[in-house]
Structure 1
Amino acid sequence: MSEGLRLRMEFRGPELPLVRALLEEASLRARLPASARGAFLQAAVEIATDAATRGADPQVVELRVEEGELLCEVGYGGAVPPPDRAEGHGAELAESLIAGIGAPARIDVRDTPHGTTVTLSAPLPAPLSAPSPGPVPALSPGPVRTPPATAPPAR
C-alpha cells in the first residue's frame, strides 16, 4: 500500500453522513482490517461530530497512510474544552473505541494556533509480498480416463 493522502474534506454538520461514507471507503481501500474498521470509523465520526458541534465552520478531516498506520485527523476552530466542562461524550467515546482496537492504536488531541486537531491512528497489515516466480509444475502427460457411457434401459 503506497503512503500518502487518501481523503481531505472540509465539512459542516449536515455533511457528517457523507464524511462517514467517505472515511469508510478510504479506510477499506487502505486495507484497515475489518476487526478494527468499525471502531476506528465510529471514533472518527464521534470526533467529527464534536467538531461540527463545537467548532467554527468549516471543519477539516484528512485520512492518510504513513509508516504502516492509517491516520485520521480532524481539525476545527475552537479550543479543547477544559476538563471540568464536558461538552459532549465524543472524545471519551472515541478514546474508548480506539483503546478497544489494541495497543498500537492511539488518539492524540492538541491545540494549535488555528483551533484543535484530533488524530486517530491504527496499524495497517504488512503489505502482501508477491510470490516468487519459481518453476511451474508440469502437468502429468498420463491418459485422461472417462467413465464409459451407458445407454438408458430399453422400454
Structure 2
Amino acid sequence: MKTKVTLLALAWLASGVAFAAETTATPAAQSEARTVKRGPDMDRMALLLDLNDYQKTEVEKILNEHHQQVRAAHEATRATGARPSREEMKALREQHKQELNAKLSGVLTPEQLKKFDALRERGPGRHFKRGPGGHGDGNDADAASTSS
C-alpha cells in the first residue's frame, strides 16, 4: 500500500513539474510570441482583391512602408507634445490615404483599388483578418459575405 501511495505521489509531482515546464516560457519565447506578424492577412487580401503573386508582394511592401511612415509621423507628433485638433487629424488621415492610393495605383488595377478602398472604409479589422494583437475583432463573417 505504501508503495502505491508513494508512486502516486511521485507521479503527481512529476506531472506538476512537467506542466509547469510547459506553461513557463522563456523571455525569448515570450518576445517571439509578441512579434507575431500584425496587420492585414496578405493571403486573405490576395483572395479578396484577386491579386497575382507580383501584386501581392508589392502591395505588402507598400502597406508596410506606409505603416512605418504613419507610425513615424505619429511618434514625431507625440515627441513634440503638441496635440493636433480633430480637423488636423482628419486632414492628415486623408493625406495619408491619398498617398497610399497613389502608391497602390501603380500596382493595382482600378477595380482592385476600388475594392481595396471599399474594404478599408469598413474600418480597422473588418476588412482583412488581422494577426494577434491587431485591431481586428476576429469576426470575418461580414467580410466573407460581402466578397461573394
Smaller-chain TM-score bracket: under 0.3
More strand per residue: 1
Query: Normalising by structure 2, what TM-score?
Result: 0.26
Larger RCO (CA under 8 A, 6+ residues apart):
2
More helix per residue: 2
Query: Normalising by structure 1, what TM-score?
Result: 0.25
Larger-Rg structure? 1
